[in-house]
Structure 1
Amino acid sequence: MRETTVLVEGESDRLAVETLAVRLGHDLMAEGVSVVPMGGATNIVRFLDRYGPSGTDHRILGLCDAGEAQGIARALSRAGLNSGSLSENGFEVCHADLEDELIRCLGVDAVLNVIAAQGELASFRLLQRQPSQRGRPASAQLRRFFGGRSGNKIRYASLLVDALPAGQAPPPLARLVGSLPQ
Protein backbone atom coordinates (compact mmCIF):
# COMPACT_ATOMS: atom_id res chain seq x y z
CA MET A 1 0.00 0.00 0.00
CA ARG A 2 1.35 3.40 -1.00
CA GLU A 3 1.71 5.77 1.93
CA THR A 4 -0.15 9.07 1.99
CA THR A 5 1.31 12.29 3.34
CA VAL A 6 -1.03 15.17 4.09
CA LEU A 7 0.87 18.46 4.08
CA VAL A 8 -0.63 21.21 6.23
CA GLU A 9 0.66 24.65 7.10
CA GLY A 10 0.87 24.28 10.87
CA GLU A 11 0.24 22.27 14.00
CA SER A 12 -3.34 23.51 14.44
CA ASP A 13 -4.18 22.29 10.93
CA ARG A 14 -2.65 18.89 11.74
CA LEU A 15 -4.77 18.58 14.87
CA ALA A 16 -7.96 19.57 13.03
CA VAL A 17 -7.36 17.06 10.21
CA GLU A 18 -6.49 14.25 12.61
CA THR A 19 -9.45 15.01 14.90
CA LEU A 20 -11.96 14.97 12.04
CA ALA A 21 -10.39 11.83 10.56
CA VAL A 22 -10.73 9.96 13.87
CA ARG A 23 -14.34 11.20 14.24
CA LEU A 24 -15.08 9.76 10.81
CA GLY A 25 -13.61 6.36 11.69
CA HIS A 26 -10.13 6.60 10.18
CA ASP A 27 -7.16 4.84 11.72
CA LEU A 28 -4.50 6.98 10.11
CA MET A 29 -1.57 4.81 11.15
CA ALA A 30 -3.19 1.62 9.85
CA GLU A 31 -4.14 3.43 6.63
CA GLY A 32 -0.55 4.61 6.07
CA VAL A 33 -1.47 8.28 6.45
CA SER A 34 0.77 10.91 8.03
CA VAL A 35 -0.36 14.48 8.59
CA VAL A 36 2.73 16.67 8.46
CA PRO A 37 2.82 20.32 9.56
CA MET A 38 5.28 22.25 7.37
CA GLY A 39 5.84 25.22 9.68
CA GLY A 40 4.28 27.47 7.05
CA ALA A 41 3.32 27.05 3.41
CA THR A 42 6.57 28.58 2.18
CA ASN A 43 8.36 25.42 3.34
CA ILE A 44 6.46 23.17 0.93
CA VAL A 45 9.37 22.64 -1.49
CA ARG A 46 11.40 20.90 1.21
CA PHE A 47 8.48 18.60 2.03
CA LEU A 48 7.74 17.83 -1.62
CA ASP A 49 11.43 16.96 -2.09
CA ARG A 50 11.16 14.57 0.85
CA TYR A 51 7.75 12.97 0.22
CA GLY A 52 7.08 13.62 -3.47
CA PRO A 53 8.18 11.80 -6.64
CA SER A 54 11.86 12.62 -6.10
CA GLY A 55 11.71 11.44 -2.49
CA THR A 56 9.69 8.63 -0.94
CA ASP A 57 6.96 8.98 -3.61
CA HIS A 58 4.04 9.13 -1.21
CA ARG A 59 0.60 10.13 -2.35
CA ILE A 60 0.54 13.84 -1.49
CA LEU A 61 -2.57 15.62 -0.22
CA GLY A 62 -2.79 18.95 1.53
CA LEU A 63 -4.64 21.86 3.03
CA CYS A 64 -3.69 25.51 2.65
CA ASP A 65 -4.99 29.04 3.07
CA ALA A 66 -6.22 30.93 0.00
CA GLY A 67 -3.36 33.40 0.34
CA GLU A 68 -0.85 30.57 -0.10
CA ALA A 69 -2.58 28.78 -2.99
CA GLN A 70 -0.47 30.26 -5.81
CA GLY A 71 2.80 29.37 -4.10
CA ILE A 72 1.56 25.84 -3.41
CA ALA A 73 0.48 25.44 -7.05
CA ARG A 74 3.93 26.59 -8.28
CA ALA A 75 5.70 24.19 -5.91
CA LEU A 76 3.51 21.25 -7.00
CA SER A 77 4.21 22.06 -10.65
CA ARG A 78 7.98 22.19 -10.05
CA ALA A 79 7.78 18.84 -8.25
CA GLY A 80 5.97 17.29 -11.23
CA LEU A 81 2.68 16.94 -9.38
CA ASN A 82 0.62 19.61 -11.10
CA SER A 83 -1.99 18.08 -13.36
CA GLY A 84 -4.72 20.68 -12.94
CA SER A 85 -6.29 22.66 -10.14
CA LEU A 86 -5.09 22.38 -6.57
CA SER A 87 -8.16 20.32 -5.74
CA GLU A 88 -7.41 17.93 -8.61
CA ASN A 89 -3.94 17.56 -7.07
CA GLY A 90 -5.34 16.68 -3.64
CA PHE A 91 -4.93 20.12 -2.07
CA GLU A 92 -7.91 21.80 -0.50
CA VAL A 93 -7.95 25.57 -0.05
CA CYS A 94 -9.49 27.35 2.94
CA HIS A 95 -11.20 30.66 2.15
CA ALA A 96 -9.04 32.67 4.55
CA ASP A 97 -7.69 30.01 6.89
CA LEU A 98 -8.94 26.93 8.70
CA GLU A 99 -10.12 28.92 11.71
CA ASP A 100 -12.26 31.07 9.43
CA GLU A 101 -13.75 27.91 7.91
CA LEU A 102 -14.50 26.45 11.34
CA ILE A 103 -16.08 29.69 12.59
CA ARG A 104 -18.32 29.92 9.51
CA CYS A 105 -19.28 26.25 9.73
CA LEU A 106 -20.05 26.30 13.47
CA GLY A 107 -21.47 29.80 13.70
CA VAL A 108 -20.39 32.49 16.14
CA ASP A 109 -22.60 31.32 19.01
CA ALA A 110 -21.26 27.75 18.95
CA VAL A 111 -17.67 29.04 18.85
CA LEU A 112 -18.40 31.30 21.82
CA ASN A 113 -19.74 28.25 23.67
CA VAL A 114 -16.43 26.46 23.06
CA ILE A 115 -14.50 29.48 24.35
CA ALA A 116 -16.79 29.72 27.38
CA ALA A 117 -16.26 26.02 28.15
CA GLN A 118 -12.53 26.75 28.29
CA GLY A 119 -13.11 29.59 30.77
CA GLU A 120 -11.90 32.22 28.31
CA LEU A 121 -15.05 34.10 27.41
CA ALA A 122 -14.02 37.07 29.60
CA SER A 123 -10.71 37.21 27.73
CA PHE A 124 -12.56 37.26 24.41
CA ARG A 125 -14.91 40.00 25.65
CA LEU A 126 -11.87 42.05 26.67
CA LEU A 127 -10.45 41.68 23.15
CA GLN A 128 -13.78 42.85 21.70
CA ARG A 129 -13.53 46.11 23.68
CA GLN A 130 -10.10 46.99 22.28
CA PRO A 131 -10.31 50.06 20.01
CA SER A 132 -8.91 48.13 17.05
CA GLN A 133 -11.62 45.46 17.41
CA ARG A 134 -14.68 47.64 17.99
CA GLY A 135 -17.05 47.59 15.06
CA ARG A 136 -15.46 44.52 13.49
CA PRO A 137 -17.66 41.49 12.83
CA ALA A 138 -17.64 38.86 15.58
CA SER A 139 -16.13 36.35 13.16
CA ALA A 140 -13.12 38.64 12.59
CA GLN A 141 -12.77 39.15 16.33
CA LEU A 142 -12.81 35.39 16.85
CA ARG A 143 -10.08 34.93 14.23
CA ARG A 144 -8.02 37.55 16.06
CA PHE A 145 -8.65 35.75 19.36
CA PHE A 146 -7.40 32.46 17.95
CA GLY A 147 -4.44 33.95 16.10
CA GLY A 148 -3.45 36.66 18.55
CA ARG A 149 -2.36 34.62 21.54
CA SER A 150 0.45 32.12 21.28
CA GLY A 151 -0.90 28.58 21.28
CA ASN A 152 -4.59 29.48 20.85
CA LYS A 153 -4.83 28.07 17.32
CA ILE A 154 -3.36 24.79 18.54
CA ARG A 155 -5.44 24.76 21.72
CA TYR A 156 -8.74 25.32 19.93
CA ALA A 157 -8.25 23.31 16.71
CA SER A 158 -9.48 19.97 18.00
CA LEU A 159 -12.02 21.63 20.33
CA LEU A 160 -13.69 23.39 17.40
CA VAL A 161 -13.70 20.22 15.29
CA ASP A 162 -15.17 18.28 18.21
CA ALA A 163 -17.94 20.91 18.46
CA LEU A 164 -19.03 20.30 14.86
CA PRO A 165 -22.41 18.58 14.59
CA ALA A 166 -22.22 15.04 13.22
CA GLY A 167 -21.96 15.05 9.44
CA GLN A 168 -20.98 18.72 9.29
CA ALA A 169 -17.49 20.07 8.63
CA PRO A 170 -15.98 22.94 6.68
CA PRO A 171 -15.99 21.94 2.99
CA PRO A 172 -12.18 22.00 2.45
CA LEU A 173 -11.58 19.93 5.58
CA ALA A 174 -14.40 17.52 4.75
CA ARG A 175 -13.13 17.02 1.18
CA LEU A 176 -9.57 16.43 2.38
CA VAL A 177 -10.54 13.87 5.01
CA GLY A 178 -12.99 12.30 2.53
CA SER A 179 -10.12 11.67 0.12
CA LEU A 180 -8.09 9.66 2.65
CA PRO A 181 -7.76 5.91 2.10
CA GLN A 182 -9.74 3.56 4.33
Structure 2
Amino acid sequence: MDEPLAAAHPLVPSADARAVVLVEGISDQVALEALAERRGRDLDAEGISVVPIGGAQALGRFLNRFGPQGLDVRLAGLCDAGEESDFRCALERAGLGSDLTRVEMERLGFYVCVADLEDELIRALGAASVEQVVAAQGDLGSFRTLQMQSPWQGRMTEEQLRRFMGSGGRRKIRYARLLV
Protein backbone atom coordinates (compact mmCIF):
# COMPACT_ATOMS: atom_id res chain seq x y z
CA MET A 1 0.00 0.00 0.00
CA ASP A 2 1.19 3.53 -0.75
CA GLU A 3 2.79 5.01 2.39
CA PRO A 4 0.84 8.33 2.37
CA LEU A 5 -2.40 6.46 1.78
CA ALA A 6 -1.65 4.10 4.66
CA ALA A 7 -0.82 7.12 6.84
CA ALA A 8 -4.10 8.85 6.03
CA HIS A 9 -6.59 8.85 8.86
CA PRO A 10 -9.82 6.91 8.58
CA LEU A 11 -12.56 8.41 6.44
CA VAL A 12 -14.62 9.24 9.53
CA PRO A 13 -13.67 11.69 12.27
CA SER A 14 -12.71 10.57 15.73
CA ALA A 15 -15.51 10.34 18.27
CA ASP A 16 -14.19 13.37 20.15
CA ALA A 17 -13.86 15.60 17.07
CA ARG A 18 -15.02 19.13 17.74
CA ALA A 19 -14.33 20.28 14.19
CA VAL A 20 -14.33 18.57 10.81
CA VAL A 21 -12.57 19.82 7.68
CA LEU A 22 -14.24 18.32 4.61
CA VAL A 23 -11.98 17.88 1.59
CA GLU A 24 -12.62 16.27 -1.78
CA GLY A 25 -10.00 13.53 -1.74
CA ILE A 26 -7.28 11.70 0.12
CA SER A 27 -4.50 13.79 -1.44
CA ASP A 28 -6.13 16.92 0.04
CA GLN A 29 -6.35 15.20 3.44
CA VAL A 30 -2.70 14.14 3.28
CA ALA A 31 -1.59 17.67 2.33
CA LEU A 32 -3.56 19.39 5.11
CA GLU A 33 -2.43 16.91 7.75
CA ALA A 34 1.19 17.26 6.59
CA LEU A 35 0.90 21.05 6.77
CA ALA A 36 -0.51 20.87 10.29
CA GLU A 37 2.31 18.55 11.33
CA ARG A 38 4.91 20.82 9.75
CA ARG A 39 3.50 23.76 11.70
CA GLY A 40 3.60 21.79 14.96
CA ARG A 41 -0.15 21.29 15.20
CA ASP A 42 -1.62 18.06 16.56
CA LEU A 43 -5.03 17.94 14.92
CA ASP A 44 -6.14 14.90 16.92
CA ALA A 45 -5.28 16.62 20.21
CA GLU A 46 -7.11 19.74 19.02
CA GLY A 47 -10.19 17.70 18.17
CA ILE A 48 -9.94 18.40 14.44
CA SER A 49 -10.49 15.72 11.81
CA VAL A 50 -9.77 16.13 8.11
CA VAL A 51 -12.24 13.96 6.21
CA PRO A 52 -12.04 13.17 2.48
CA ILE A 53 -15.57 12.98 1.12
CA GLY A 54 -14.88 11.25 -2.19
CA GLY A 55 -15.77 14.19 -4.43
CA ALA A 56 -17.74 17.40 -4.23
CA GLN A 57 -21.04 15.70 -5.07
CA ALA A 58 -20.90 13.92 -1.70
CA LEU A 59 -20.67 17.12 0.36
CA GLY A 60 -24.39 17.25 1.16
CA ARG A 61 -24.29 13.83 2.80
CA PHE A 62 -21.39 14.90 5.02
CA LEU A 63 -22.98 18.26 5.88
CA ASN A 64 -26.12 16.38 6.97
CA ARG A 65 -24.06 14.04 9.12
CA PHE A 66 -21.77 16.60 10.78
CA GLY A 67 -23.62 19.91 10.40
CA PRO A 68 -26.46 21.53 12.35
CA GLN A 69 -28.91 18.73 11.46
CA GLY A 70 -26.43 16.04 12.57
CA LEU A 71 -23.58 16.01 15.08
CA ASP A 72 -23.37 19.82 14.92
CA VAL A 73 -19.59 20.08 14.98
CA ARG A 74 -17.73 23.06 13.61
CA LEU A 75 -17.30 22.61 9.85
CA ALA A 76 -14.81 23.84 7.30
CA GLY A 77 -13.89 22.69 3.84
CA LEU A 78 -11.74 22.99 0.78
CA CYS A 79 -12.64 22.38 -2.85
CA ASP A 80 -11.30 22.82 -6.36
CA ALA A 81 -12.54 25.77 -8.42
CA GLY A 82 -14.41 23.40 -10.71
CA GLU A 83 -16.46 22.11 -7.78
CA GLU A 84 -17.33 25.49 -6.26
CA SER A 85 -20.93 25.38 -7.47
CA ASP A 86 -21.40 21.86 -6.04
CA PHE A 87 -20.10 23.07 -2.68
CA ARG A 88 -22.23 26.24 -2.81
CA CYS A 89 -25.42 24.28 -3.58
CA ALA A 90 -24.73 21.72 -0.84
CA LEU A 91 -24.10 24.45 1.74
CA GLU A 92 -27.33 26.17 0.75
CA ARG A 93 -29.34 22.90 0.87
CA ALA A 94 -27.92 22.25 4.35
CA GLY A 95 -29.35 25.59 5.47
CA LEU A 96 -26.01 27.33 5.88
CA GLY A 97 -26.92 30.26 3.64
CA SER A 98 -28.64 31.27 0.42
CA ASP A 99 -27.21 32.71 -2.78
CA LEU A 100 -23.76 32.28 -1.24
CA THR A 101 -20.85 34.14 -2.76
CA ARG A 102 -17.29 32.89 -2.48
CA VAL A 103 -16.65 35.44 0.29
CA GLU A 104 -19.68 34.17 2.21
CA MET A 105 -18.52 30.59 1.75
CA GLU A 106 -15.14 31.62 3.20
CA ARG A 107 -16.89 33.18 6.21
CA LEU A 108 -18.44 29.75 6.77
CA GLY A 109 -14.95 28.22 6.58
CA PHE A 110 -15.21 26.78 3.06
CA TYR A 111 -12.42 27.79 0.69
CA VAL A 112 -11.99 27.37 -3.06
CA CYS A 113 -8.58 26.66 -4.60
CA VAL A 114 -7.70 28.62 -7.76
CA ALA A 115 -7.65 25.38 -9.75
CA ASP A 116 -6.97 22.65 -7.20
CA LEU A 117 -4.74 22.12 -4.18
CA GLU A 118 -1.88 20.80 -6.32
CA ASP A 119 -1.99 24.02 -8.35
CA GLU A 120 -1.87 26.06 -5.14
CA LEU A 121 1.18 24.13 -3.92
CA ILE A 122 2.98 24.36 -7.28
CA ARG A 123 2.40 28.13 -7.45
CA ALA A 124 3.48 28.60 -3.83
CA LEU A 125 6.74 26.68 -4.29
CA GLY A 126 7.49 27.66 -7.87
CA ALA A 127 8.07 25.32 -10.78
CA ALA A 128 11.83 25.03 -10.23
CA SER A 129 11.40 23.90 -6.61
CA VAL A 130 8.71 21.39 -7.55
CA GLU A 131 10.95 20.00 -10.30
CA GLN A 132 13.66 19.49 -7.64
CA VAL A 133 11.19 17.47 -5.56
CA VAL A 134 10.23 15.44 -8.64
CA ALA A 135 13.93 14.80 -9.35
CA ALA A 136 14.59 13.77 -5.74
CA GLN A 137 11.77 11.21 -6.06
CA GLY A 138 13.36 9.74 -9.18
CA ASP A 139 10.46 10.88 -11.35
CA LEU A 140 12.19 13.52 -13.47
CA GLY A 141 12.49 11.19 -16.48
CA SER A 142 8.75 10.51 -16.39
CA PHE A 143 8.06 14.22 -16.09
CA ARG A 144 10.32 15.00 -19.06
CA THR A 145 8.44 12.36 -21.07
CA LEU A 146 5.16 14.11 -20.30
CA GLN A 147 6.67 17.44 -21.37
CA MET A 148 7.57 15.94 -24.76
CA GLN A 149 4.04 14.73 -25.46
CA SER A 150 2.37 16.91 -28.07
CA PRO A 151 -0.56 18.08 -25.88
CA TRP A 152 1.93 19.36 -23.29
CA GLN A 153 4.68 20.82 -25.49
CA GLY A 154 4.92 24.58 -25.14
CA ARG A 155 2.65 24.70 -22.10
CA MET A 156 3.74 26.43 -18.92
CA THR A 157 5.84 24.23 -16.64
CA GLU A 158 3.31 24.77 -13.85
CA GLU A 159 0.54 23.30 -16.05
CA GLN A 160 2.76 20.35 -16.95
CA LEU A 161 3.58 19.71 -13.30
CA ARG A 162 -0.08 19.84 -12.34
CA ARG A 163 -0.91 17.29 -15.04
CA PHE A 164 2.03 15.14 -13.94
CA MET A 165 0.83 15.17 -10.32
CA GLY A 166 -2.65 14.13 -11.41
CA SER A 167 -1.49 11.18 -13.51
CA GLY A 168 0.24 7.97 -12.61
CA GLY A 169 -1.91 6.18 -10.08
CA ARG A 170 -1.30 7.45 -6.56
CA ARG A 171 1.21 10.12 -7.55
CA LYS A 172 -1.13 12.89 -6.41
CA ILE A 173 -1.30 11.40 -2.91
CA ARG A 174 2.46 10.80 -2.72
CA TYR A 175 3.34 14.34 -3.78
CA ALA A 176 0.74 15.96 -1.51
CA ARG A 177 2.94 15.37 1.54
CA LEU A 178 6.17 16.17 -0.30
CA LEU A 179 5.06 19.58 -1.58
CA VAL A 180 3.76 20.91 1.73
For normalisation by structure 2, the TM-score amounts to 0.86
2:89 paired with 1:74? yes
User: Corresponding residue for 1:169?
Assistant: none
The answer to whether the Cα contact below 8 Å between 1:10 and 1:39 also exists between their aligned partners in 2 is yes
**CA displacement, residues 131-161 of structure 1 (integer Å, 9 cap, x when unaligned):** 1111111111101101121111101001000
Instruction: Tell me how far apart the structure 1 counterparts of residues 62 and 96 of structure 2 sit (CA, whole Å).
Output: 13
Letter of the 1:116 counterpart: A
Instruction: Tell me how far apart the structure 2 counterparts of residues 37 and 90 of structure 1 sit (CA, whole Å).
Output: 16
User: Corresponding residue for 2:31?
Assistant: 16
Instruction: Tell me how far apart the structure 1 counterparts of residues 149 and 79 of structure 2 sit (CA, whole Å).
Output: 30
Structure 2 unmatched ranges of 5 or more: 1-15
Structure 1 unmatched ranges of 5 or more: 162-182
The answer to whether the Cα contact below 8 Å between 1:7 and 1:62 also exists between their aligned partners in 2 is yes
Aligned residue pairs total 161
2:122 paired with 1:107? no
Letter of the 2:165 counterpart: F
Instruction: Tell me how far apart the structure 1 counterparts of residues 57 and 32 of structure 2 sit (CA, whole Å).
Output: 20
User: Corresponding residue for 2:56?
Assistant: 41
Instruction: Tell me how far apart the structure 2 counterparts of residues 153 and 134 of structure 1 sit (CA, whole Å).
Output: 21
Match of 1:86, SS state, is helix
Letter of the 1:109 counterpart: A
User: Corresponding residue for 1:31?
Assistant: 46
What is the CA-CA distance between 1:67 and the residue it aligns to?
1.3
Instruction: Tell me how far apart the structure 2 counterparts of residues 82 and 113 of structure 1 sit (CA, whole Å).
Output: 43
The verdict on how the C-alpha distance between 1:2 and 1:40 changes in structure 2, with shifts beyond 3 A counting, is closer
Runs (4+) off by over 2 Å: none
Instruction: Tell me how far apart the structure 2 counterparts of residues 2 and 39 of structure 1 sit (CA, whole Å).
Output: 20
The answer to whether the Cα contact below 8 Å between 2:29 and 2:52 also exists between their aligned partners in 1 is yes
2:112 paired with 1:97? no
Q: How does 1:1-182 map to 2 (within 5 A)?
A: 3-82=18-97, 85-161=104-180
The answer to whether the Cα contact below 8 Å between 2:17 and 2:49 also exists between their aligned partners in 1 is no
User: Corresponding residue for 2:9?
Assistant: none
Deviates most, 65-74 or 116-125: 65-74
Q: Percent identity at matched positions?
A: 57
What is the CA-CA distance between 1:37 and the residue it aligns to?
0.3
User: What is the root-mean-square deviation in Å for CA atoms of aligned residues?
Assistant: 1.4
Instruction: Tell me how far apart the structure 1 counterparts of residues 130 and 117 of structure 2 sit (CA, whole Å).
Output: 14
User: Corresponding residue for 1:173?
Assistant: none
Instruction: Tell me how far apart the structure 1 counterparts of residues 148 and 86 of structure 2 sit (CA, whole Å).
Output: 36
